[in-house]
Amino acid sequence: MKKSGKVAIVGGGVAGASVAVVLGALGIGVTLFEAGESLVSGPPMCHLHAGGNLYREISDAQCLRLLRESIEFVRLYPGVIDYRPTVIAVPIEDSGTPEALLPRLGLLQRAYKELITLDSENAVLGESEDYYRLYSREDLEHLRSLPDREQAGAFDAWMIPVARGVDLDSVQYPVILVQEFGINMFRLGAAATLALRQMENTTLLMKTSVELIEAREDESGWIVSYKEEGEEKQEGFDYLINAAGFRSGMIDAMLGFTIPRFVEFKAAYVTQWREETQRWPEIVFHGERGTPRGMAQFTPYPGGYFQLHGMTKTITLFEDGLVQCDPSSKQPKLDAFFIRKLEEGWSKEEVEERTRAAIAHVARFIPAFESATVASKPLYGAQQIPGDDPELRAAEVSFEGERYARCEIVKASSVLAMSDAIADRLTRLGYLSEKWDRERIFASLTGLDEDELSHYAKKLCVTRGYPEALASRTVNRLIAEVKQKD
């Protein structure tokens, strides 16, 4: 016989909001506490990481996990996916080679094929044989000479701006096109909010900060003390989920738990390339992280807007931006310089200096991009990395005792695997029936009204001080186009 359970979730980032949607859809009574004004307002996300091809340094096992989890993420949140592929280029200046990337791409392609064999609904990245394609210099020279993109197949059409805009002498061959899509964080925040508002069994408490958590004397759950718009309140729960992001250590500190973790502050820059009208793919120019030639990432949005990462200490990474717990504390301590940025924002000079550096970093490969301008403040934030490997990219959740889960995602795509593990624990406690229905979870997000979602995403984007175009995505219907044209 199923018991009724009350679950508290602290933190409404992608982890907390997603587990709230999953548990809410399964009929559990959920209260989501979020200190900020809206959901998914913390560190940004723009890559789905369907195969982890941005990270040469991580293991094949992590890449396979990211592929599997990304496919589930697309099935959960189809309306927040930016359906554009990623181009991977290895610069001439880099010590690596494109050939070194090919064995892993083959492995990922085979794994994708197996996932589709297991369940045809997993084919969210297109046909498995199209997972990646290789382009020689001659291929790109040919595409450059085509008068318009209509004459190219769907994949080749994505390569036309690359062929025309990238300095073809600056990269090694082959250049790789891979079906790694994007995530739109504003649409994600909007989708989760709208889905949760439709559920009768979920309570969404915004501008509400959890101040103290104590175990009930009989260990049957937790008493959560919180401040809702300045008013102090208290409520009892049967299960507690810590989804407080980089502040997870503070919740652990309230409960007396200690685990090793890192916290890292990073930023991505928002630019506009006014004269550019072509539809670009994402482009990743590989480079050694933390050096002046660190990876450059060029992420397109509609309207000539581009989000940039540069894995150097003067662009995305920061000197002392990565900190680890010391044995005496549960929460890694970021320097006051970063806390000020998180709480008060950036000075105009800092925005200008780092964004200009990001533009110059990308213009080494796309010369005409030099004319791009600063469009807004950066997208930035701090995130946690559990354990003692700062290069960990695939992580989900850990547990303490029977009634406490700690969300530990490093990439947004891990949220469904994370939620599944938590749902298993709730099943063991008798709060969920043995067999819960996956389709009910997917239905809670796929049934959302597109106009309402789009309107709310734009509102979130503008309220947070970003150009409205960042709430839009390429609805390229890539997969349908490929079927028709290639």
Please give the residue ranges that form the binding site for ligand FAD (CB under 6 A): 10-16, 33-36, 41-47, 49, 209-210, 243-247, 266-268, 380-381, 383, 407, 409-413
Name which of 11 and 165 has its Cβ closer to ligand FAD: 11
Residue among 67 and 143 whose Cβ is closer to ligand FAD: 67
Q: Residue 320 CB, nearest distance to ligand FAD (Å)?
A: 15
Kindly state the smallest distance separating residue 96's Cβ from ligand FAD, in Å: 21
Closest approach of ligand FAD to the CB of residue 437, in Å: 25
Minimum distance, C-beta of residue 97 to ligand FAD, in the bound complex (Å)? 25
Minimum distance, C-beta of residue 303 to ligand FAD, in the bound complex (Å):
20
Q: Which is nearer to ligand FAD, 154 or 178 (CB)?
A: 178
Q: Pick between residue 11 and residue 304 the one whose CB is nearest to ligand FAD.
A: 11
| Lookup: tokens for 73 | 């993420």
> Between 157 and 472, whose beta carbon lies closer to ligand FAD?
472
Closest to ligand FAD by CB, 23 vs 163, is: 23
Pairing of strands 239-242, 6-10: parallel
Minimum Å distance from CB 33 to ligand FAD? 5
* 8 A C-beta contact, residue 282 and residue 86: yes
Give 158's Cβ-side CA count (13 Å radius).
Answer: 28
